[in-house]
């Protein structure tokens, strides 16, 4: 009797399990790295889907089981790059910079580019960055920018964008490591805020000290790209945390589960506003609180939509 019951239970479990596998959405999660940001993303993503009660199975692995996967979610550029050549399933790339992601796509062969692929970027849209600038430093319109020769930021497009907002862009290329500081001085001399961009040749941990100290000597604030920038001495930054991106990726996965299609590539929906009040005070900048900055930014966004 006891044996029979055990067998029945086993069969039932097997049946149920097979049924689940047949219906559930199989998501393969591939992390570029096991460091905390990726771990945090994963935890938040899992939590978002668990909370939705959706029928989803998430497998975190470095190896793609293409036969079983319905959707591949790659976290970071390294995972995205490698997945492109290992799967034919739809890919959602998250925590990737827009420029890097688009560059990767442009290098795909034609058969690969037929893949269904979409992204949730890590960087913030320019409009949002300008809204931040306007909310925090309304009287500063000369925006300084340093870029290395390898930067894939369209400086001219940015210049037009800033001009349309009645500002001016003071952009200075940095051609070699030797010329970083003379370029920096040139920019600081002629601008009233310095905007950091994702450019590892300039904003590296080796250079950040002298960039921050020099801009502080010129009394020009730096707008950073992360909490780490703000801790180091940047005036403020907007950025999306891995947790926020995990939630957004969760929503995208649910959308896929419902429609079988990935949403279009998108910027982060949620973001954090970090400010360094000590730096603001020392530079005699009257910086509003993050809540006030957010309200001002929301209002600017609304006004833009209504136009």
If binding is defined by CB under 8 A, does position 106 make contact with other proteins?
A: no
DSSP 272-301: EEEE-HHHHHHTT--PPPHHHHHHHHHHHH
φ, ψ for residue 55 (rounded to 5)?
A: -90, 85
Query: Whose Cβ is closer to other proteins: residue 115's or residue 201's?
Result: 201
Q: Of these, 44, 129, 191, 214, which contacts other proteins (CB under 8 A)?
A: 214
Q: Of these, 279, 293, 294, 297, which contacts other proteins (CB under 8 A)?
A: 279
Q: Of these, 27, 77, 133, 252, which contacts other proteins (CB under 8 A)?
A: 77
Q: Contacts with other proteins in 154-193 (CB under 8 A)?
A: 174-178, 180-182, 185-186, 189-190
Query: Whose Cβ is closer to other proteins: residue 65's or residue 190's?
Result: 190
Interface size with other proteins, residues (CB under 8 A): 66
224 CB neighbour count, 10 Å cutoff: 26
Q: Enter the DSSP assignment of 207.
A: T
d(CA 30, CA 76): 9
If binding is defined by CB under 8 A, does position 274 make contact with other proteins?
A: no
Q: Tell me which H or E stretch contains 236.
A: strand 236-239
Query: Whose Cβ is closer to other proteins: residue 47's or residue 152's?
Result: 152
Q: In what order do the strands lie in the sheet with 236-239?
A: 168-174, 142-148, 193-195, 222-224, 236-239, 272-275
Q: Of these, 69, 71, 74, 76, which contacts other proteins (CB under 8 A)?
A: 76
Contact 80, 101 (CB under 8 A): yes
CA distances from 45 to 27, 58, 223 (A): 11, 10, 29
**Residue ranges in contact with other proteins by CB under 8 A:** 32, 37, 76-78, 95-97, 99-100, 103, 122-123, 139, 148-152, 174-178, 180-182, 185-186, 189-190, 198-206, 208-210, 212-214, 216-218, 225-226, 228-229, 231-233, 239, 276-279, 281-284, 286
């Amino acid at each position: 009797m006891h044996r029979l019951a055990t067998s029945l239970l086993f069969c039932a479990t097997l049946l149920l399990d097979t049924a689940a596998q047949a219906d559930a959405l199989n998501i393969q999660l591939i992390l570029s790295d096991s460091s905390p940001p990726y771990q945090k993303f994963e935890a938040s993503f899992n939590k978002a889907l668990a909370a939705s009660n959706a029928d989803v199975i998430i497998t975190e692995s470095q190896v793609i089981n293409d036969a079983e996967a319905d959707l591949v979610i790659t976290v970071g550029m390294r995972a995205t790059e490698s997945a492109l050549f290992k799967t034919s399933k739809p890919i959602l790339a998250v925590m990737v910079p827009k420029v890097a992601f688009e560059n990767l796509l442009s290098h795909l062969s034609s058969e690969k580019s037929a893949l269904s692929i979409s992204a949730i970027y890590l960087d913030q849209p320019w409009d949002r960055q300008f809204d931040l600038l306007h909310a925090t430093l309304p009287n500063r319109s000369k925006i300084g920018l340093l870029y290395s020769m390898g930067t894939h930021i369209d400086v001219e497009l940015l210049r037009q964008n800033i001009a349309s907002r009645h500002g001016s862009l003071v952009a200075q290329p940095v051609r070699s490591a030797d010329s970083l500081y003379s370029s920096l001085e040139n920019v600081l001399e002629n601008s009233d805020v310095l905007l950091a961009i994702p450019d590892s040749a300039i904003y590296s941990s080796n250079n950040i000290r002298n960039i921050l100290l020099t801009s502080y000597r010129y009394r020009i604030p730096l707008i950073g790209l992360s909490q780490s920038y703000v801790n180091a001495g940047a005036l403020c930054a907007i950025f999306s945390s891995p947790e926020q991106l995990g939630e957004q990726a969760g929503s995208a996965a649910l959308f896929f589960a419902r429609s079988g299609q990935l949403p279009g590539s998108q910027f982060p929906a949620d973001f954090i506003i970090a400010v360094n009040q000590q730096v603001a005070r020392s530079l005699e900048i009257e910086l509003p609180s993050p809540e006030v900055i957010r309200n001002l930014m929301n209002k600017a966004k609304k006004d833009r939509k209504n136009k």
